[in-house]
Amino acid sequence: MTRKELIDHIGEKRSFLCVGLDTDIRKFPPCILEKAGDNAYEAIMAFNKAIVDATAPYCVAYKPNTAFYEAFGTEGWRALADTFAYIRANHPRHFIIADAKRGDIGNTSAMYARAFFNDLDADALTVAPYMGSDSVKPFLGFDGKWVILLALTSNPGSMDFQLTEDKDGSRLFEKVIRESSTWATPEEMMYVVGATRGEMFRDIRRCAPDSFLLVPGVGAQGGSLEEVCRYGMTDDCGLLVNSSRAIIYASSGEDFAQAAAEAAKAVAGQMADFLGTYSKI
């Protein structure tokens, strides 16, 4: 998907919500589990299809988190592939992010690119920057595909290394953004920036004025959507804000899909206001 297609979708829908499919069977509504019996594949697919169909009117992106599928082995991987295919077939305008945080030496990253861009047909893949340029570049150059590079994450451990200052006073996450900006354009690279430090978005925008940012940490992790938008939004939005647990587990009753839709709709309502205030789309 091109940047323009993504922005057009955000503009029409008045939402920049990404729904994270951190699909955890242990949190599934009993009605799903009863129907699927002990078939993990059936349970995951029934849950994901219901959540996706219910939330699609209020979001522009989905982000399956690969860990939750790998935990179920071969059947989990099949559910991951079929979830991608289901979204692609039924909601073709939605941007699909494989949240896999991959990154390895060149020939290995090239294999991951094949897995996620060719086999699963993801629009984007999250990538870890620790191994540097030749671990990231094999993911670039796929038509309409995106790298989303970890910059400043939303978890407490982000303070361990990402904030380390070098001799010139640059923090590691800033160095990651600056260096990687020479590898790719804002048409093919985004950054992960956690919502838990809203004021940091000012610093991020100094390094990456035009890039889209994928923002986890609103909702269960406590970040403020208002601060993210005030400091991080650009004229053409430039944000995809993810929410996982607060939406997909909004209810554990038979109304779980309806509750997810309502939770997504509520966030999208706030987003429409912020788009009016801080963007030009």
Residues annotated catalytic, as ranges: 101
Q: Which two tokens stand for residue 127?
A: 């990538």
- Region binding a second copy by CB under 8 A among candidate stretches 10-18, 114-122, 233-241, 264-272: 114-122
* Contact in structure between 60 and 240 (CB atoms under 8 Å): yes
Residue 106 or residue 186: which is nearer to a second copy going by CB?
106
Number of residues engaging a second copy in binding (CB under 8 A): 59
Candidates 10, 6, 1, 4; CA nearest to 271 is 10
Q: Coil, strand, or helix at residue 195?
A: coil
Q: At what angle do helices 172-180 and 200-207 cross, to 10 degrees?
A: 30
157 binds a second copy (CB under 8 A): yes
Residue 198 or 217: the one with the smaller Cβ distance to a second copy is 217
Instruction: Specify the stretch interacting with a second copy by CB under 8 A; choose among 50-58, 98-106, 140-148, 228-236.
Output: 98-106
Is residue 219 within the footprint of a second copy (CB under 8 A)? no
Choices 112-120, 207-215, 227-235, 262-270 (CB under 8 A): range interacting with a second copy: 112-120
**Minimum gap (Å) between residue 125 Cβ and a second copy:** 11
Helix (H) or strand (E) holding 127: strand 124-127
Q: Which span sits near a second copy by CB under 8 A: 4-12, 51-59, 157-165, 254-262?
A: 157-165
Contacts of 120 (CB under 8 A, 6+ apart): 80, 81, 84, 98
If binding is defined by CB under 8 A, does position 141 make contact with a second copy? no
Closer Cβ to a second copy, 15 or 153, answer by number: 153
User: How distant is the alpha carbon of residue 183 from its chain centre?
Assistant: 21
In this chain, which of 34, 166, 187, 254 binds a second copy, going by CB under 8 A? Answer: 166
> Contact, 215 vs 189, CB < 8 A?
no
Q: Determine, following the binding rule CB under 8 A, whether residue 29 of this chain makes contact with a second copy.
A: no
DSSP string, 235-274: TTB-EEEEE-HHHHTS-SSTTHHHHHHHHHHHHHHHHHHH
Residues at the contact surface with a second copy, assessed by CB under 8 A: 22, 24, 65, 67-68, 70-74, 76-78, 81, 99, 101-109, 111-112, 114-115, 119-120, 128-136, 150, 153-162, 164-167, 172, 175-176, 179, 216
